[in-house]
Structure 1
């Protein structure tokens, strides 16, 4: 006897079948409601999100090397410079050396929690690309097999904070160095996949845009175009870890944007207050911090941002320690009179 025929002849069985059907339908409806609510919430955050701009407040990360250096001994000038720089809104660099797989997600969660508590945005730099820096002072990065999972861990932590505005600078120097590194096709694919993974609610991604003294705008635009990340990327970041004048970077950003259909930009002003370094990029003497994050922008440049944390060395050159290491003497020079006034 078929189950349906048995249920028709047995009232008790028919009731059990009916209850089972109702339960299944209820579970399905409940699941649909949960999914619908989640989609609506995500849509609401995305629809309400506005890109970074003038006046955007970025956190001064509690995990920064400047903050950690506050516990160290030093001269009065070094302590004053460290205190000043630790208090400035600055991007946090996610590197596999400092925040390896299995730990980087917790770091991102701590950053977004701080941003939520302070009603501010968080800016992070994702810097772990395989073959990073082509073996120069910042050589390192992850193996090609490890990079996607590391990026995914970052992405999951960012997506878990849809209510926080997130600025992501994706792999500085990766595109401008591609012609000399000789691994462009691999880099384009890795950056495309990373941008896809990192995209999410109120997350604004900026690719490497070099700077005004590096590659011609047309050549840089070709490199950015080959990433082909579509609308998942807001724009590009220029002058990261460099010392070029703000005026020159704005002009360069406009020229580059013109080649890219109006793509937006952010400009690193963390160390361009003097802008006298010329072609010297590794701990040049006599430089100063630039205008604070969120001070200015225009129809192309969303905002200026301290991307490179002042006080961290560019590498073992001009008296500095290894790249990324806190350098008290360099911090004093960069902070200058600002630290004394602070």
Structure 2
């Protein structure tokens, strides 16, 4: 029974939730009662097939309160557990048990959770700030993972498919921000040397893997961070290390998740990486920068093959986050441009309108992407909204304000490389995870397909 005032569905959202028949929905729970210990639910190759997916009423309320937001307020989004206090509920918000109980009340088959609280998370980046230091591995296990597992293992939730997205952007950081790279940081080097992320993720996978109805998906970042061969190979090795650390095995990894909280398009429709303009290959353009991948689905399918070759199950599928990669609106191209310069050709033809392909914070011009869908491409389990649209990526404040500062969330910051492009971040953004109405309204206006 929810605590009074918490976990209730607001009046304005009730009609939205009552009418929800997500594109992922093709059934209801066969039995609301707990599964018998001797008769666990069958393990599914793809948990999204024939599943009614939980709609978070807290996100639905915020979305429905915005002009036009009711059109998408019934879409399922992941529940983010990004600090210990989220497990029991924080500042009047719903805790994990309340979300699970609400899923049962909706007769949902599946709920999506994002686990995001590793020690020295994001290599200690100040925004979004992690709560655990590099010395807090024991706390991560005892105060974060163990309580989550205890709740998820309760018999009343045994018929609920629980999809967990495990620690976004952790292992990719150890590829692109370590060693001799210009982006390397001492914090990332120390995390790598200690094996902090591999041990933490391995422990989480081992505990989650003991629950028959939990499906763990490991984060594989996106094409514009680790699409290059010199990155995807090391990432594959790190993923295998994590999956076999701290008592885990690769059997605890059901699949992988790409583009988490990012903006990379599923497919660029109007140019190819092997196009040649006036004798110059497109892969030499500033935007592509020698990356063999220019969009997300081919990257996800390729990395899936690499991971199968490294020892993961060849049946493991990929989830792609499409919550903010639509790039519709008046700036969306309708075809390739005619140009003799390769950079002009790429910049005029690309659907992804970011100033730089690596920009990730509250991007100007972005729109809602494909609505959640099951098995849209070979090897892809589902398109889902992992990042709840409208929740901020980080505060846009300036340095020396006393608040955590992330340069790539500052609209006026000029990166040392590619400084003429800027960050593409929207101004007046609140801290990470807080509701950002202006961004949600922009995402709605620029949705593709349109709302």
Give the alignment's TM-score, normalised by structure 1.
0.78
Shift of the alpha carbon at 1:295?
4.7
Listed one character per residue, the Cα deviations across residues 18-77 of structure 1 (whole Å, up to 9, x for unaligned) are xxxxxxxxxxxxxxxxxxx954123xx1x354522356432111233x535767xxxxxx
Q: Deviations over 1:255-298 (max 9, x none)?
A: 11111112321000000011322322111111100111125433
Q: Give 1:146's aligned residue.
A: 139
Aligned equivalent of 1:22: none
1:220 aligns with 2:235: yes
Structure 1 stretches of 4+ with a deviation exceeding 4 A read: 68-71
SS at match of 2:377: coil
Which protein has the bigger helix share? 1
Q: Map 1:1-342; keep pairs closer than 5 Å.
A: 39-42=37-40, 45=41, 47=42, 49-53=44-48, 56-64=51-59, 67=61, 78-81=66-69, 83-96=70-83, 99=86, 103=89, 107-120=95-108, 121-134=110-123, 135-142=125-132, 143-149=136-142, 150-160=144-154, 161-179=157-175, 180=177, 181-182=188-189, 183-184=191-192, 185-199=195-209, 200-215=211-226, 216=228, 217-227=232-242, 228=244, 229-247=249-267, 248-261=295-308, 262=314, 263-274=316-327, 275-277=352-354, 278-316=357-395, 317=409, 318-319=426-427, 320-336=429-445
5+ residue gaps, structure 2: 1-34, 178-187, 268-294, 309-313, 328-351, 396-408, 410-425
CA contact (8 A) 1:210 1:220 kept: no
CA distance in 1, matches of 2:322, 2:50: 15
SS at match of 2:158: coil
- The SS at the match of 2:237 is helix
Counterpart CA distance in 1 for 2:163 and 2:432 is 23
- 8 A contact 1:273–1:287 mirrored in 2: yes
User: What is the distance in 2 between the residues matched to 1:213 and 1:55?
Assistant: 32
Partner-residue secondary structure (3-state), 2:103: helix
- RMSD of the alignment, in Å? 2.5
- Give 3-state SS (helix, strand or coil) of 1:99's partner: helix
In structure 2, the CA distance between the partners of 1:212 and 1:48, relative to structure 1 (3 Å rule), is: closer
Aligned with 1:176: secondary structure?
helix
Relative contact order: is structure 1 or structure 2 higher (C-alpha 8 Å, sep ≥ 6)? 1
CA distance in 2 between partners of 1:292 and 1:170 (Å): 22
1:235–1:50 Cα change, 3 Å: closer
C-alpha distance in 2 between matches for 1:97 and 1:289: 29
Aligned-pair CA distance for 1:314: 1.1
- Post-superposition shift, 1:207? 1.0
CA 1:293/1:98 → structure 2, altered by over 3 Å: closer, same or farther?
A: farther
Return the offset for 1:97. Answer: 6.2
Q: CA deviation at 1:245?
A: 1.0
Q: Matched residues in 1 for 2:81 and 2:167: separation?
A: 10
**Aligned length in residues:** 292
Once the two structures are superposed, what CA deviation does each residue of 1:228-269 show, in whole Å capped at 9, x if it has no partner? 241111121100011111132221111111111123210000
Partners of 2:170 and 2:49 lie apart in 1 by 27
- Partner of 2:114, secondary structure, is strand
Structure 1: how far apart are the matches of 2:257 and 2:325? 15
CA drift of 1:219 comes to: 2.7
Deviation at 1:130, TM superposition (A): 1.0
Structure 2: how far apart are the matches of 1:48 and 1:295? 17
Q: Answer yes or no: is the 8 Å Cα contact 1:89–1:292 preserved in 2.
A: no
Rounded to whole Å, the distance in 2 between the matches of 1:164 and 1:175 is 29
